[in-house]
A and B are shown apart, each in its own frame.
Chain A
Amino acid sequence: DAGITQSPRHKVTETGTPVTLRCHQTENHRYMYWYRQDPGHGLRLIHYSYGVKDTDKGEVSDGYSVSRSKTEDFLLTLESATSSQTSVYFCAIRRTGDHNSPLHFGNGTRLTVT
């Protein structure tokens, strides 16, 4: 295991409610990422972080925000959940931003928005 814990593992929520997913790592890696995985679309990057309080958008960032107040924690917030945000969300980490630094993934959070 790459020392990545995602919580909760499963969540069902209603349209319009805020939702926060948590990623916790014990590897002290600098880079952290949030991906979503959907049939037909594969894995898509939502947001990433390159240090405490340093974050940037990915290709599907609309409707999501992130925060990183500690090296080990990266939070993903859906401000007002919509059915299109039903997905499996994965956190990933990398030791550095160097191209040859491998990605390691958590076990995911399955989110259902009803």
Chain B
Amino acid sequence: KQEVTQIPAALSVPEGENLVLNCSFTDSAIYNLQWFRQDPGKGLTSLLLIQSSQREQTSGRLNASLDKSSGRSTLYIAASQPGDSATYLCAVPLGGQNFVFGPGTRLSVLP
């Protein structure tokens, strides 16, 4: 059974720091991994989808890496800003049309 975990559960950093969020999954036979951010009271916003054949995906200050063999993905945020404060979730597809979502990392970037 696929399980997805995210460490840490919460993170607080001063503005300007580079930071790494972690996502781990137990079954390495995944097609891809998607990263989302969720602002309070809002839905999930898709940030990056990294396919199993890719090692990295970049979008602006965000860089996601995927290591299937070790069951890990990292989301790197460069030069963090207060506007980056949100909960970040990762998700992997299961068979059929379902996905497994991690519990999220709640990020606070302090001005």
Contact = CB atoms under 8 A, between A and B. Distances in A.
Interface of A: 2, 4, 31, 33, 42-43, 45, 48, 50, 56, 58-59, 90, 92, 97, 99-100, 102-108
A106 B43 contact: yes
Interface string B12-42: 0000000000000000000110101000011
Chain B interface mostly helix, strand, loop or mixed? Answer: strand
Nearest to B104: A42
A41 B44 CA distance: 16
Interface in B34-77: 34, 36, 41-46, 49, 51
Interface of B: 31-32, 34, 36, 41-46, 49, 51, 89, 91, 93, 97-99, 101-104
B3 to A, nearest CB: 11
B44 A102 contact: no
A23 to B, nearest CB: 11
30 contacts: A4-B43, A31-B97, A42-B102, A42-B103, A42-B104, A43-B99, A45-B97, A48-B97, A50-B97, A58-B97, A58-B98, A90-B44, A92-B44, A97-B97, A99-B32, A100-B31, A100-B32, A102-B34, A102-B49, A103-B44, A103-B91, A103-B99, A105-B36, A105-B45, A105-B46, A106-B43, A107-B42, A107-B43, A108-B41, A108-B43
